[in-house]
Amino acid sequence: MQFLQSVLLRLCTTLITLAGVAVIVFFVIRVVPGNPIAMMLPPGATEADVARLTALYGLDKSIPQQFLIWLSGVVQGDFGTSITTKQPVLQLVLSRLPATLELSVMALIIAIIIGGFMALTGTRLRGSKTEAAIDIGNGMALSVPDFLWGLILILAFGVLIPIFHISGRVTPSLPLPFSTNFYLTESLLRLRFDLWLDIAAHMFMPALALAIPLAAIISQLLKQSLKETMHLDYVTLARTKGYSETHVILREALPNAILPTLTLVGVQFTFLIGGTVIIERLFSYEGLGNMAIDAVINRDLPLIQGIVILFAVIFTGVNLLVDLTYAALNPRLRHA
Amino acid sequence: MSYLSIRNLSARLKGRPDQILRRVSLEVAAGEVRGLVGESGAGKSMIGKAILGTLPQSVEITGGQIILDGTDLLALPAAQRRTLIGAKCALIPQDPLTALNPSRRIGPQITNRLVDILHWSRADAEKRARDLLAEVQIPDPERVMRSYPHELSGGMRQRILIASAFAAEPKLIIADEPTTALDVTVQKQILKLIAAMQARHGTALLFVTHDLGVVSKVCQSLSVLYAGYVLEDSTIPEFFHAPKHPYSRALLAATPKYTDPDGSLTPVSDAVIAATRAEVEAADRSAHV
Amino acid sequence: MLDGRSAIRRKLPARLVLSATWLTLLTLAAICAPLIAPKDPLAQDLFLGQLPPFWLQGHEPGYLLGTDSLGRDVLSRILYGARLALTVALTAGTITCIIGATMGLLAGFLRGWVDILISRAIDIWMAFPPVLFSILLIAVLGPSLTSIIIAIVVIDWTRFARVIRAEAMTQGAMDYVASAQVAGRTRLSTMVTEILPNVLPTIVVLLTLEMGISIIVEAILSFVNLSISTDDPTWGGMIAEGRASIHQAWWVLVFPLITLFLTVLSFSQLGEGLKDRFDPVLR
Ligand SMILES: Nc1ncnc2c1ncn2[C@@H]1O[C@H](COP(=O)(O)OP(=O)(O)OP(=O)(O)O)[C@@H](O)[C@H]1O
Ligand SMILES: [Mg+2]
């Protein structure tokens, strides 16, 4: 009962946050100088043409009025029409969302694998030179943001040892048999491993750039939490039963040490998704972030609005999900 | 021939001169119960940890032998030593509240050693666990095996840990103050249970405690430890009737007798402690020459 | 345990010294750029385009680190770029720090509706993708140094507010604050005289980190061509150019990247080093 109540409360604050984002982004972009309508029209268009189009996009009304019209549309799932492509914003945004989601999830998986491996190795070899090296590596990885890691990866694996693709999502000449935009997932489901490999090789560099800082955070937190767990009596008891150190870490300590790391990874994952904007630009990857920057450069107001709102929905959604999973995974918390 | 024999075992904090164990020698015969007493910080737990190979990383063994059933543990490679200890020794820990893994059910925590280390079949191991739980007087073993630790009381958890210690029929059990974390009322039952289980299974037991009263009831022989140094090694009748060392005498005088719990007590005097210190240091010096 | 601790302590000066040295050198280079830069950073010479650095075949004397596609000297552009980077780091960092820390202090110490308002605002801010938000702000404000600074302040104040709010809350719950209150001081004066000095170390650490972040934000903005005017040398602008000509002239990307990397790393290591220094548990 109390659990349900706190869930409802969380939902309410989430809605308030989203409303706040909507208001701010709506008003900020109305201040943009430069008339997007004039930019659309061919040179030599008349005043009347401009006025007609302005009315069409509702830009002649007062800003609060525009907001109300936009809001009532949003409630019905209508985010307006993109000024540059003349397509519904929702459709455009949803067509790019899969690319960004696949990239983010891939990055998360890479971060968990690298971070987890580092934490376990550091715990297994605690006190050794290897652990010290891992600590230094973590410090470096945390100090430098994904943007710089992206550039370094481009140099290292795009130029120096060119083994990965450093731009695009898939080799353009390949015919794509897909019916959704989840290319990576769908190629796997259709058992088209040739395509899967090509897509993965394109995605790997941007995903790794996004993953490096998160991997360092996971490694640091999990190692800390594992080290504390390794001192506990049940771990010692397991050692006296004849288990190897590796087994003791993996089977006894890890399941108990992982929960605190999990919550933090949730929050950090939203930062990672925020990072896709610039990383997609850097790797010319056709996702939401790249589209967003184009939209800003082209002054495509409805599209910018739609993308920012979508990002906000993803962020708050991930946070909500993490809170709920945490509560569900920790039975003592739920009964309390 | 003793089942466990520790010879001249020395240990210290890594990179420091502080001795934690000073040429400790002690023997536990097969089926024997040996008490290990001494003030807090004397190094009692360290001896247990040295045997089981769970010393903290900051502590290093600087010399001596730990001979278990004819094999010197310290001369074995780590992996072999672990499996040997897993098969022949077991630990009854001090605090039942922290000695069970909170995220795993009780059943696997009892059977895992049998299945993983000793390669029993799962069915055999589970049957064994059920029998043992019944033997330590746990009602409804089936249900308990499916429970998580936080669903059980402290006394029940200690019974489970005792059952788990006896699961592989070890030849030697180390019990490190197995009752101090429990309620006074439960303590007696647990002590009786350990004594009964030990007698029935014929296991040798190294019993670490502060409590001479308990020693007199449970043990057959006794080592007195002070600052990592064994002051006295006696049988129980010898110790209680004619303790050899002045420190032991003072210790006895400071302990309430179970025959006369209200009798007058004298705390261990500073003079005795100073004399003992001096003796330990003198022994240290002569050992280094 | 003890050994680990003293190891950290011994390592500490090294990273503080190294990062402080690099930052000092960079600051000096930025200030003296007009004196030490070998060439005019804006001078183009299409005949001297994409010259390699001095140790490679085909280099031209005087162009130590080579030239970009327009024949501009990479080294001189890096030196002049440092001016913008450090200006942004100092001004944006400091202003963000002052505004963010004030918000955090007010929310954490006064609590009540002030806290509710500020915390809600932080929640909303956290739901914005920061890079996109900054790009949007620059688009709105028009590319200029002031716009960059405003964008950084508007986006990053929450970094300070979040941490300082939590610290002010713990400090505010302590006894010494209660006794200051009993002594009849106003809440604001208690905040300034009792709480502020205790959270100051945290503020200094965050400020150091924020300077590194500001430099990155500036680089990202010039990378998407939204920083100051396109001619002026910026590290991010050079990186964008280098990215475009990466297969023909890697040095146009590599040298500004190394400089940016070391600078950001130094700010961060300086911050972390200071944190260890200040942390009473480690002391
Ligand atoms: N993890 C550790 N690292 C370094 N020294 C330790 C550690 N644990 C214990 N010691 C030291 O080793 C010595 C022996 O400790 P030990 O735990 O064996 O004492 P004990 O006799 O079991 O005491 P108690 O009756 O309180 O359990 C003490 O001086 C103690 O300070
Ligand atoms: Mg002990």
Helix axes A288-297, A254-282, angle to 10 degrees: 40
Q: State whether residue B15 sits within 8 Å of chain C by CB.
A: yes
> Does the Cβ of B58 fall within 6 Å of ligand 1?
yes
Confidence of residue A332 (pLDDT cuts 50, 70, 90): low
Distance B284 CA to ligand 1 centre (A): 19
Give chain A positions within 8 Å (CB) of C250.
Answer: 155, 159
| CB contact C216 to A (< 8 Å) | yes
* pLDDT score of B146 more than 70: yes
pLDDT at A334 over 50: no
In angstroms, the separation between the Cα of residue B11 and the nearest Cα of chain A is 19
Alpha-carbon torsion (A16, A275, C108, C192), positive or negative: negative
- Percent of chain A scoring above 90 in pLDDT: 40
Going from the Cα of B13 to the center of ligand 2, the distance in angstroms, rounded, reads: 16
Of B87, B103, B116, the CB nearest to A256: B103
* Contact status, residue B24 vs residue B48, Cβ threshold 8 Å: no
Mean pLDDT of all residues in chain A?
A: 86
Strands (E), A7-137: none
Q: Which atom from ligand 1 is nearest to the alpha carbon of B228?
A: 14
Measured between CA atoms, the residue of chain C closest to residue A144 is C265
Write down the pLDDT at residue B289: 56
| Inter-chain touch A242–B95, beta carbons under 8 Å | no
How many inter-chain contacts (A to B, CB under 8 Å) are there? 62
Measured between alpha carbons, how far is B35 from B29 in angstroms, rounded to an integer? 12
DSSP designation for C193: I
Is the pLDDT at A49 greater than 80? The verdict is no
Tens digits of residue pLDDT in B57-88: 889 999 999 999 999 999 999 899 999 999 99
Cross-chain residue pair A237–B99, CB shorter than 8 Å: yes
Residue in B with minimal Cα distance to C4: B58
pLDDT, tens digit (0-9, with 9 covering 90-100), for C1-58? 344 444 444 455 688 889 999 999 999 988 887 887 777 777 777 766 676 777 777 7
pLDDT reported for residue B93: 92
∠ CA A231-A236-A239, nearest 5°, is 135
* Contacts of C among chains (3+ CB pairs under 8 A): A, B
CA B18 to chain centre: 23
Q: Could you give the angle at the alpha carbon of C158 between the alpha carbons of A63 and C138, nearest 5°?
A: 50
d(CA A35, CA A54): 10
CATH code, B186: 3.40.50.300
Residues in the 5 Å CB sphere of ion ligand 2:
B 45
Backbone angles phi, psi at A164, to 5 degrees: -120, 155
How far from C27 is each of C80, C145, C237, CA to CA, in Å?
A: 11, 18, 20
Residue A243 CA, ligand 2 centroid: distance in Å: 23
Do the beta carbons of residue A312 and residue A136 sit within 8 Å?
Answer: no
Is C268 within 8 Å of A142 when comparing Cβ atoms?
Answer: yes
CB of A237 within 8 Å of a chain C CB? The answer is: no
Please choose, from the candidates A142, C19, C279, A231, the residue with its C-alpha nearest in 3D space to the C-alpha of residue A134: A142
Check pocket membership of B93 for ligand 1, CB cut-off 6 A. Answer: no
Q: Please provide residue B14's backbone torsions phi and psi, each rounded to the nearest 5 degrees.
A: -55, 130
Reported as a pLDDT band with limits 50, 70 and 90, residue B255 is confident
| Number of independent structural domains in chain B | 1
Interface residue of B18, B58, B59, B60 to substitute, partner C, most C CBs within 10 Å: B58
**Reduced to 3 states, what is the DSSP secondary structure of residue B35?**
strand
Ligand 1 contacts CB of residue B40 (under 6 A): yes
Task: State CA C17 to chain mean position distance.
Answer: 18
Domains and CATH numbers, chain A: 2-75 (no CATH), 92-335 (1.10.3720.10)
| Min distance B23 CA to chain A CA atoms (Å) | 24
Domains parsed from chain C with CATH numbers? 14-32+63-278 (1.10.3720.10)
Check CB contact under 8 Å for A308 and C128: yes
Cα–Cα dist A165/C228, whole Å: 31
The pLDDT, as a whole number, for residue C280 is 54
Query: What would the mean pLDDT of A119-128 be, rounded to a whole number?
Result: 92
How large is the greatest C-alpha to C-alpha distance in chain B, in angstroms?
Answer: 61
CA-nearest residue to A242 within chain B is B86
> First vs last Cα of chain B: how many Å apart?
31
Looking at residue C3, its pLDDT comes to 44
For the stretch C174-214, pLDDT in tens is 777 777 766 777 777 878 887 888 888 889 999 999 999 99
- Residues within 8 A of A (CB atoms), C 132-171 only: 132-133, 135-137, 139-140, 142
Q: Would you give the end-to-end CA distance of chain A in angstroms?
A: 11
Residues A14, A320: contact at Cβ < 8 Å? yes
Residue in B20, B14, B13, B27 with CA at minimum distance from that of residue B280: B20
* Cβ of B20 below 6 Å from ligand 1: yes
Could you tell me if the CB of B170 is within 6 A of ligand 1?
no
Closest CA to A37 of A67, A63, A23, A58: A58
Q: Which of residues 26-65 of A touch C (CB under 8 A)?
A: 28-29, 31-33
| Residues contacting residue B27 through CB under 8 Å, at least 6 positions apart | B2, B4, B5, B6, B34
State which H helix or E strand residue A258 sits in.
helix A254-282
Query: How confident is the model over C97-145, as pLDDT tens digits?
Result: 999 999 999 998 888 899 999 999 999 998 888 988 898 888 888 888 8
DSSP states of A187-246: HHHTT-HHHHHHHHHHHHHHHHHHHHHHHHHHHHHHHHHHHHHHTSHHHHHHHHTT--HH
- Per-residue confidence (pLDDT) for residue A150, from 0 to 100: 94
CA angle centred on C202, ends C197 and C207, rounded to 5°: 110
What is the residue range of B256's domain? 2-287
Mutation test of ligand 1: which of B44, B47, B61, B223 has the most ligand atoms closer than 8 Å to its C-beta? B44
CA-nearest residue, atom 31 of ligand 1: B41
| Residue B179 in tokens | 């009752």
CA dist., res. C175 & res. C156, Å (int): 32
Q: Which mutation among B45, B54, B208 tests ligand 1's pocket best, with the greatest number of atoms within 8 A of CB? A: B45
